[in-house]
């Protein structure tokens, strides 16, 4: 069997997330159907991780196994010709048969884009935030989310995993005249974690004793103690490292 690794980009606006679901259009299902149309065989498409409804990707990774050796240049062009305009395969390569896009991932990183200006060209890919932002305070508070911590308070209640401890290697912000850009990299992410962090940071900017407030949220291990999740449209799966 040959094992093929793909890098995928998508606009998640019109999809119910990455993972295949009944009675819903998902990225994984559309991509799987497109590949099977070319190979004429059923394949098992494995993603590096799932993204929520409306979330985008610049560097999602997936792999599948196939009994025949593919012409990668021809296959990439063929699958892209079938895929809708909001999904594309940007890279494809042959990898070792034991490669697993999810279990072999060492870190994942996300970007979150906040717009300070209302624009018809930004609304699908950023969160329009009307309030003033104390950028230095925002950067300082963000450091409280780095390191090895229990992120129970920042994941959806129905998240079924044995451990909710994540090691956040980096979390920082950049800004331009119009945008604030958040970057976060971790060994793993919980369901809804990044958007919960963003929502909490923005709410915490309005609180006087903000540092202790964040520490209390972590200690509570209660999702209700943190703020509502930031909107999905600003979030991008950026890169998966192996």
Over residues 137-148, the pLDDT tens digits come to: 999 999 999 999
- Share the mean pLDDT of the chain: 96
Give how many domains the chain has, as a whole number. Answer: 2
In terms of residue numbers, what domain contains 88? 2-95
> Considering 42, 63, 95, which residue would you say is the last residue of a domain?
95
Is the predicted pLDDT of residue 160 greater than 90, yes or no?
no
Please state the rounded mean pLDDT for residues 56-65. 98
Using pLDDT thresholds of 50, 70 and 90, give the confidence band for residue 158. confident
Regarding whether 202 and 126 lie in a shared domain, the answer is yes
DSSP characters for 4-47?
EEEEEEE-GGGSS-SS--TTS--HHHHHHHHHHHHH-S----EE
Regarding whether 128 and 208 lie in a shared domain, the answer is yes
Supply the pLDDT for residue 191.
93
Q: What are the tens digits of pLDDT across the range 12-40? A: 999 999 999 999 999 999 999 999 999 99
Is the predicted pLDDT of residue 92 greater than 90, yes or no?
yes
Just list the catalytic residues.
52
Hey, what are 195's tokens? Answer: 């958007």
Is the predicted pLDDT of residue 159 greater than 90, yes or no?
no
Asked if residue 102 is part of any domain, the answer here is no
Please state the rounded mean pLDDT for residues 185-214. 95
Regarding whether 215 and 127 lie in a shared domain, the answer is yes
CB atoms within 10 A of CB 220: 13
Please state the rounded mean pLDDT for residues 76-104. 98
Supply the pLDDT for residue 132.
93
């Amino acid at each position: 069997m040959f094992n093929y690794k793909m890098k995928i980009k998508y606009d998640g606006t019109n999809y119910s997330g990455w993972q295949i679901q009944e009675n819903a259009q998902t990225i994984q299902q559309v991509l799987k159907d497109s590949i099977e149309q070319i190979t004429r065989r059923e394949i098992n498409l494995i993603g590096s991780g799932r993204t929520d409804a409306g979330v985008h990707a610049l560097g999602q990774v997936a792999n599948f196994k196939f009994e025949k050796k593919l012409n990668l240049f021809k296959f990439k062009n063929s699958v892209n010709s079938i895929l809708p305009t909001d999904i594309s395969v940007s890279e494809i390569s042959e990898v070792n048969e034991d490669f697993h896009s999810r279990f072999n991932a060492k870190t994942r990183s996300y970007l979150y884009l906040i717009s300070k200006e209302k624009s018809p060209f930004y609304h699908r890919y950023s969160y329009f935030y009307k309030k003033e932002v104390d950028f230095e305070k925002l950067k300082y508070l963000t450091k409280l989310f780095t390191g090895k911590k229990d992120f129970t308070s920042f994941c959806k209640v129905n998240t079924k995993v044995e451990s909710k401890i994540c090691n956040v290697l980096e979390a920082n912000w950049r800004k331009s005249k119009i945008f604030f850009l958040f970057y976060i990299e971790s060994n793993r992410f919980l369901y809804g974690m990044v958007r919960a962090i963003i929502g909490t940071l923005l709410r915490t900017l309005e609180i006087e004793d903000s540092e202790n407030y964040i520490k209390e949220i972590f200690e509570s291990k209660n999702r209700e103690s943190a703020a509502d999740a930031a909107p999905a449209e600003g979030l991008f799966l950026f890169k998966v490292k192996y």
